[in-house]
Structure 1
Amino acid sequence: MMWIIQSVAIVVIWLSFWSLIPRDEWWIRGADFPRLQILVLGFIAFILFLAVDHPWSWASQLIFVGLIAALAYQLKMVLPYTFVWKKQVKQVRQDQLDPQRQISLIVSNVLTTNTKYHLLIEKIQTLQPDLVLTLETDQVWQDALAIIEEDYPYRVPVPLDNLYGMHLYSKLKLSNTEVKFILSDDIPSIHTTATLRSGQTVQLYCLHPKPPSPTEAKDSTLRDAELLIVGDQIKDLDESCIVMGDLNDVAWSRTTRLFQRISGLLDPRVGRHYINTFHADYPLLRWSLDHVFHSRDFALVHMERLAHIGSDHFPIYLVLQTGRIFEHLQEELEQTDEDEQEAHEAIAEGIEKAEKEEKPVTDEVAVAYKEGAKYP
């Protein structure tokens, strides 16, 4: 019995500190994802260590100390996304609600092969969000969603059959819309400006980079670089901003936290709860892959994970409200010179990798990095 407990503890220790290795290969970065599962296994091993009678040899003591260190590290990573942590984004009080300054949105990775179109359509028609971002949508999905087009006069369709198509539907006026292929000629992103009912404009960035996995990208280099390129664009903006999509990364990963510090955007999940969207079919194997980050002038009205739509992802639904009062109450994460340097290096590595794979780099910020204009 004891050797099983020790084996589980060793696996928890190994996976916990494996993720600290500063490498981009999928078999290393993959350890970022199941932190909750690792934490549960660790606590089970911890309890059994104390409950089961056994001799406390030097090896057993060493494993136990390592297990405590691993649990402490995992708790440090996941506790910010629970109610015990300070909220990063304020809740809008009832007396502050102003629909003219609100924006509601659904983000849904639909799974291209999913044919239960009606389930997502029902949620859109019930909630009537201002924005609907669909990911993995091809021409078949575009045709199926044509029924909502009457309610969404502003649309940005990018139907692709490579699992990276995306569509943005909007009740709000969209302007300055661009579909960019930042580091890969088959991975689009949507960049546009939405105008709220109050007349205020909001910059929107819709992303869906490739995940590090044996069947997709062999490493996270291009994913990380794309996210940080967008973050670098945002940091120089003095405008309201929302980044949303399936980032194929978890909120507590090194890259996502670096993106937040570089961009200055906030995460409404911090201090509240997880929004574990993937995998919808396996309750014990879920983590947050779908995200909405926003500028400091937004506060939270409502946030929830919606019910199963037949995809491997759950949709998420958020309502945000903008106001200068929130900007004064909310603090962005502090950025350091080391963060800036790390972001520069990650972007440069991504550009170099893209060029080696003969993918043209055309994004203006990426080109600026390539030409050295952005380097310190």
Structure 2
Amino acid sequence: MVLTNVLVCATVLLVAATLLPMLQTTLWWVRALEFPRVQIVSLQALTFLAALGLGSQSGLVIMLVLAAAMALQILHIWPFSPLCAKEMQKAQPGAAQNQVTCLAINVLMENTNHAAVLAEIDRLDPDVLFLMETDAAWNTAVTPALSGYPTVLREIKDNYYGLIFATRLKVRSARVSYLSVEDTPSVLAELEAPDGTPFRFVGLHPKPPVPGEDTEGRDAEVAYAARHARDTDLPVITMGDFNTPAWSQISHRFKAVGGYLDPRVGRGLLSSFDARRWWMRMPIDQFYATEDVSLISFQRGNFVGSDHFPMSAKIRFNDPDTARQLNRRVTALPDAEEARILQAIERQGSRLSQIIRPTTPPLL
């Protein structure tokens, strides 16, 4: 009887953890339940096996309820299984001058393993580098590695939201921008690939859902950045620690509004956080690209002492028609939902225009 009661309580909690994220709310504790879907479905499976051992009608009811809850969780995770169709098929590498390598690392502000981060930068030798959580100590540590980059943007902070953006590509414009009312800077840049093809880069690191931090600011920042793809006919790529998993509501909306594709779909989770605890890992460091971008490779990097793994992508832009043949279109949002999101973006733009902040001058 005691075991039955324990399993009933566990089932109620696990079902609630499955159903609550379906709500349209920005409450931090609800949105936080989107993160550990793999962990939740694993607990559901263990509880299912325990109920199997009851051999009673109560056990059967528990198993049926848990089976339905597991199915719902798996529906969210399934697109990131290697058994699912890929959104971005790999393209042939082609000539070296047509390739662009991008690397994003959340270095973890208190991480002192500067040498590991420098080694990863040296190993991948990226054309575009985006570092997050960079304070004064990290700025000093990585400065030697930035000597080969003609363009470097720094927004150094001690609040876990500093950033450094560096590129050796030709820069049409680049600036640090604040896309939310929070103190979380982003990078907006227009660059040229080595063959002269122009494209846009967006680097994001919004706040996560934690006690006292609902996700309105994060969602507004991510949606506002999605519009950066809508405002141009140029190819667009976006990287960073989104502080939301690849299967979350806001990730799907970001992709639909901006017309982005996710190379994780059909390839596996490539979970980037928590790098130090395998049982807590989830895919929250993202790379997205518009359908006119060809993917050559997408990979998780080496452990660098941070709680995040580096994420890198190698891409090319010179053949958009081939890219569209290799890539699968993102399913559009219903018109009513898309209109609602675009209205929210406009409201966010109005709020941002009323906030006066010192800004990094654009590089032209």
| TM-score, normalised relative to structure 2 | 0.91
Match of 2:9 in 1: 7
* 1:262-301 equivalent positions in 2, closer than 5 A: 262-301=257-296
Deviations 1:278-332 (A, max 9, x none): 1122111111121110111223222221122111111112112232211234232
Does residue 28 of structure 1 match 2:30? yes
Aligned-residue offset at 1:191: 0.6
Determine if contact 2:26/2:216 at 8 Å carries over to the other structure: yes
CA distance 1:353–1:150, change in 2 (3 Å):
closer
The 3-state SS of whatever aligns with 1:204 is: strand
Does residue 327 of structure 1 match 2:324? yes
* 1:143-182 equivalent positions in 2, closer than 5 A: 143-182=140-179
| C-alpha distance in structure 2 between counterparts of 1:68 and 1:185, whole Å | 40
Structure 2: give runs of 5+ residues left out of the alignment. 360-364
* 1:62-101 equivalent positions in 2, closer than 5 A: 62-93=61-92, 97-101=94-98
* 1:108-123 equivalent positions in 2, closer than 5 A: 108-123=105-120
| Farther off after superposition, 257-266 or 318-327 | 318-327
CA distance 1:240–1:348, change in 2 (3 Å):
closer
| C-alpha distance in structure 1 between counterparts of 2:128 and 2:195, whole Å | 16
Match of 1:17 in 2: 19
- Structure 1 consecutive aligned stretches of length 4 or more whose deviation exceeds 4 Å: 348-355, 358-363
Match of 2:57 in 1: 56
| Farther off after superposition, 161-170 or 297-306 | 297-306
Aligned-residue offset at 1:76: 0.5
Q: Percent identity?
A: 28
Does residue 140 of structure 1 match 2:141? no
The 3-state SS of whatever aligns with 2:142 is: helix
CA distance 1:361–1:68, change in 2 (3 Å):
farther
Aligned-residue offset at 1:149: 2.0
| C-alpha distance in structure 2 between counterparts of 1:318 and 1:220, whole Å | 28
Aligned-residue offset at 1:179: 1.4
Structure 1: give runs of 5+ residues left out of the alignment. 364-376
The 3-state SS of whatever aligns with 2:225 is: helix
Determine if contact 1:180/1:188 at 8 Å carries over to the other structure: yes
| C-alpha distance in structure 2 between counterparts of 1:194 and 1:175, whole Å | 6
| C-alpha distance in structure 1 between counterparts of 2:204 and 2:312, whole Å | 17
Determine if contact 2:90/2:326 at 8 Å carries over to the other structure: no
Determine if contact 1:205/1:242 at 8 Å carries over to the other structure: yes
Match of 1:340 in 2: 338
Deviations 1:92-128 (A, max 9, x none): 23xx523222111111011111111110001111221
The 3-state SS of whatever aligns with 2:307 is: coil
* 1:223-242 equivalent positions in 2, closer than 5 A: 223-242=218-237
Aligned-residue offset at 1:339: 2.9
The 3-state SS of whatever aligns with 1:108 is: strand
Does residue 128 of structure 1 match 2:125? yes
| Farther off after superposition, 4-13 or 196-205 | 4-13
| TM-score, normalised relative to structure 1 | 0.88
**How many residues are paired up?**
354
| C-alpha distance in structure 2 between counterparts of 1:8 and 1:352, whole Å | 45
Determine if contact 1:261/1:332 at 8 Å carries over to the other structure: no
Aligned-residue offset at 1:247: 0.9
Given the alignment, which residue of 246, 271, 274 partners 1:251?
A: 246
Determine if contact 1:221/1:350 at 8 Å carries over to the other structure: no
| C-alpha distance in structure 1 between counterparts of 2:316 and 2:350, whole Å | 39
| C-alpha distance in structure 1 between counterparts of 2:141 and 2:275, whole Å | 22
The 3-state SS of whatever aligns with 1:284 is: helix
Deviations 1:10-52 (A, max 9, x none): 22211000111221111111110000001111122223333x1
Deviations 1:226-248 (A, max 9, x none): 11111123123211111111111
The 3-state SS of whatever aligns with 2:17 is: helix
Give the CA RMSD over aligned residues: 2.2
Determine if contact 1:202/1:241 at 8 Å carries over to the other structure: yes
